[in-house]
Copies of this chain bind each other. A is one copy, B any other.
Amino acid sequence: MRKEKDKVKIIPLGGLNEIGKNLTAIEYKNDIIVIDCGLKFPDEEMLGIDVVIPDISYLQKNIDKVKGIFLTHGHEDHIGALPYVLKEMNVPVYGTKLTLGIVQTKLKEHNLLSVVDLKCVKPRDIVRLESISVEFIRTSHSIADSVAIAIHTPVGIVLHTGDFKIDYTPIDGCVADLTRFAELGKKGVLAMLADSTNVERPGYTMSESIVGETFEDIFSSARGRIIVATFASHVHRIQQIIRAAIKYDRKVAVSGRSMENIMEVGMELGYIDADKDIFINVDNINKYPESKIVIITTGSQGEPMSALSRMAASEHKKISILPGDMVVISANPIPGNEKLISRVINQLFKKGAEVIYESLADVHVSGHACQEELKLMHTLVKPKFFIPVHGEYRHLKQHAELAIKLGMPSNNIIIGDNGEVIEVSRDAIRKNGTVVSGQVFVDGLGVGDVGNIVLRDRKHLSQDGILTVVVTIEKESGSVIAGPDIISRGFVYVRESEDLMGEARELVRDALRECEEKRITEWASIKSNIKEVLRMFLYEKTKRKPMILPIIMEI
């Protein structure tokens, strides 16, 4: 009997075969713990969608078992779904200090702060649940206070690395806890789930300190103002900008709501170390010489409403770009954002600013482990079984191959998918069925009320617009009393297409007459006749296929 019962279930509900929306459930007997609770930003085809979150039906069904959400770090793809998920399922949230600091800001915005139980943990802390315990282990990443999570179960240890890199010279001096990884490895790790983001890159990810050296170079030579855009959550990056500002005697102004938020949280919690005197209000930047100013801002991804984009487009209320400004974009473009960033860079150059960005200098390093770092982690932890996570299929596949090259039998590796139940016993790992999973679209206040049909319609509307055809028909006789009127949006310039629309109206009129003569009175038939006639006519004339919406009013 024991054999059959003693299994840990690993159920990824997000983060496999995709970048983002990370959420993994680990289940043993009466305990389910949730690792991370992230969102994903919509793909291009998800028109009008604000964010995408994981489907948590499985957790809701098993809510009695769910002991809490355990966070590895404070990035959106790991914490962003919390406000939505906690509304459905109010469980304790465990995380390190900075992670919870960021979560608090988020919960406050959603009026949830008072109802959620936030439990602050430190690296090496252990949370004991009914039959398992959860341990936090320090890692390095592009945000401070990141951790891996080890789940100690009677079957064995399951280790989730979270997002990580190995940085021997991190800004806060807190190197990843390699010793503990080695200890666990010695003790025996049953299964490891590890970050696959950078598995395609050979070598090592450079240390965050490198960026500090680049900042030093830039600050030592700049004559005008320096404006640095970076990720708001990257407190170490921000710390390095502040250090350079102190060294080169510049005041620091902050622009952009999320940057202001993090500055407050980071200072309060001790993650950003700076004398308050160094900061000045954005309103006062003109009171200082240009050579004495640094502005730290959001917008490193070219986001249209961000502070940097508004400066570049002359739409920022308080900061105008001046010739001689040195703008540093301290970030990599996230795939899909290249054109937005490029637009901002062009605008800045046109305004006479110098612009320094990734292709020109080491102003950014990744937060994820490259191949050599992954090998180090595998070698220290020596897991029996391995599940690559955090990546598209190509990344998972290549991470599996990396493990095989290190000597792991390929049968001990599972490339899973969201919703698949991965069962691990002492001797074996296998997929055993699936649970409900998927993506839930958030659009405005609606969570899940926009689905594939709505998106398909938006896509159709976006390509060729819509033609609405309205006609009023007398119920008894079936004869047309008013209309047909045709109104189009997003199809053609109406003024230039009067002939086209006139012809279209005639065709609809003919179709209606034919229906009347043939005594076709079902609306559905009349509508489909109108649709078909118009569709063919418009496609022949324009090679376009607008949505056609016939509306019949009956009196």
Contacts and interface: CB of A to CB of B under 8 A. Distances in A.
Contacts of A393: 346-347, 349-350
A137 to B, nearest CB: 30
Interface in A191-232: 200-201
Contacts of A47: 462-463, 490
Given A335-B338, A551-B485, A465 B470 contact: no
Interface residues of A, number: 69
B335 A339 contact: yes
Given A393-B346, A394-B345, A453-B493, A468 B465 contact: no
Given A445-B543, A461-B462, A492-B450, A554 B48 contact: no
B470 A551 contact: yes
A449 B200 contact: no
A350 B470 CA distance: 49
A463 B48 contact: yes
B17 A346 contact: yes
A280 to B, nearest CB: 30
A445 B542 contact: yes
Interface in A324-349: 335-336, 338-339, 342, 345-347, 349
A457 interface: yes
A47 B360 CA distance: 33
A530 interface: no
Given A44-B44, A454-B492, A458-B465, 12 more contacts: A43-B339, A47-B463, A346-B394, A444-B544, A446-B492, A457-B465, A458-B461, A460-B490, A466-B466, A468-B551, A482-B555, A489-B547
A425 B3 CA distance: 91
A541 B443 CA distance: 12
A44 B553 contact: no
A404 interface: no
